[in-house]
A and B are shown apart, each in its own frame.
Chain A
């Protein structure tokens, strides 16, 4: 099995309060869905809104996310999959893709 980080991008500021109830429900069910498909979620977190983020570049501290963009990281988890096709198959069912999108990135092992 290979481990991938799944980074969930949502429209800024990625506030959990903005997530529609149906999407929130689907997020809750996604772990079971992944297991049914033969994968596994090792660990995952949702984040507070990007307005609460603080960034440091060099020695300059600024308010906000590291990169200003229309979409920001709203959460991430580690997914175990057989290969990239398997990982993409599961990740495309992540409800994060409804309003935003996900990035699938192999871990350095």
Chain B
């Protein structure tokens, strides 16, 4: 007998660390996402009794895979499951797509544990699924997060999230989205979808779009966990490395983003001694060790920019010229007006607020930025620095009208009060 608390802890750990591996390996046998999920859930439940009775297994993941796959095999043999006419298409490890039925894999040696996590991730983030479904499926299938918790994180009713997950699974089955890693010709845009999902998870957690807390820590942790998993699975992909570096370098500032009252602090105001040095070091090492072949992608460039910020002793002492140069590269691979906006902030530090304001005014004509709350906020800051207080107050008010996060609103309201009555 092992004591129950340590078994429970081991199961919690195995859930967080091994869920993706266990589920992906079970999908191969179950050929159905719902059945696989059910069997994996069961395996975790079984583990509680078995591990308490027999002690912790040396390889918990292998134990769970074996248990889950046995259940799947059993369910298929005894026809206890609804036999879908459309079993998930699992591409064997060659390149040829198979045409087997759902039962053909049940003779697989049960103790063989393939690492199918990449297939699982690419299936969840398939571009034929709408982005919000990709996000929900990734949390549910890759991270093992319950639908209720996903719903809570995205501030939608649980029924809405459940319907979203069901619809996405149905599309995977009916439209025949295969359980496979994309081939080289599809790889760049398929990988981009995966990276976007992880990045979106992070930013949703990092700046909660509404509500009182600025950071929803669990989503941030899940995003970091996914970033690390992906890099372990694809160590040679520069953009995977870039994404994890970007998340680490951004997250290193987590503790200093708001003051004790929850007020949002600008980069210039943050207490740099509160930055997480270990995360910064890890992020910088990833950026510096990135393969130099070819043109750097958007995540690696953003990470490089974040690294320049992270290594600066003060806001004023930041390598702003280097940051402008990195933005010049970034805008080529990612021609987004938001990038141009952030570049203007760096330009203000190199050439002063006047030239930066002219760039901002040009960007105001870009329809894609209409309603983007950071545009009037940045404009307001530049006007303030130029001493144009009345115009600054007007711009702060425009930003306030667009913000719905309480911490951001408080920051903007403070700025308006500072500028005096408009």
Chain A residues near B (Cβ < 8 Å) = 2, 82-89, 106
Interface size class of B (residues with CB under 8 A): 10 to 19
Q: By the criterion CB–CB under 8 Å, are A83 and B174 in contact?
A: no
**B97 contacts across to A, CB distance below 8 A:** 82-83, 86
**A87 contacts across to B, CB distance below 8 A:** 176
**A106 contacts across to B, CB distance below 8 A:** 174-176
**1/0 per residue B166-199: CB within 8 Å of A?**
0000000011111010100110000000000000
Give CA–CA (A88, B185) in the complex, Å. 12
**A2 contacts across to B, CB distance below 8 A:** 176
Q: By the criterion CB–CB under 8 Å, are A84 and B175 in contact?
A: yes
| Contact (A83, B89) CB under 8 Å given A106-B175, A106-B176 | yes
User: B321 an interface residue at 8 Å Cβ cutoff?
Assistant: no
Chain B residues near A (Cβ < 8 Å) = 89, 97, 126, 128, 174-178, 180, 182, 185-186
Q: By the criterion CB–CB under 8 Å, are A83 and B176 in contact?
A: yes
**B178 contacts across to A, CB distance below 8 A:** 82-85
Partner of A89, one of B126, B174, B177, B186: B186
**B128 contacts across to A, CB distance below 8 A:** 84, 88
Q: By the criterion CB–CB under 8 Å, are A83 and B177 in contact?
A: yes
CB distance from A8 to the nearest CB of B (A): 18
Q: By the criterion CB–CB under 8 Å, are A85 and B175 in contact?
A: no
**A83 contacts across to B, CB distance below 8 A:** 89, 97, 176-178
Shortest 10 CB-CB distances between A and B: which pairs? Answer: A83-B178, A82-B97, A83-B176, A2-B176, A84-B177, A106-B175, A84-B175, A83-B89, A84-B176, A106-B174
**B177 contacts across to A, CB distance below 8 A:** 83-85
**B89 contacts across to A, CB distance below 8 A:** 82-83
* 5 pairs from A and B in contact (CB 8 Å cutoff): A2-B176, A82-B89, A83-B176, A83-B177, A83-B178
CB distance from A22 to the nearest CB of B (A): 24
Give CA–CA (A25, B367) in the complex, Å. 38
**A86 contacts across to B, CB distance below 8 A:** 97
CB distance from A67 to the nearest CB of B (A): 21
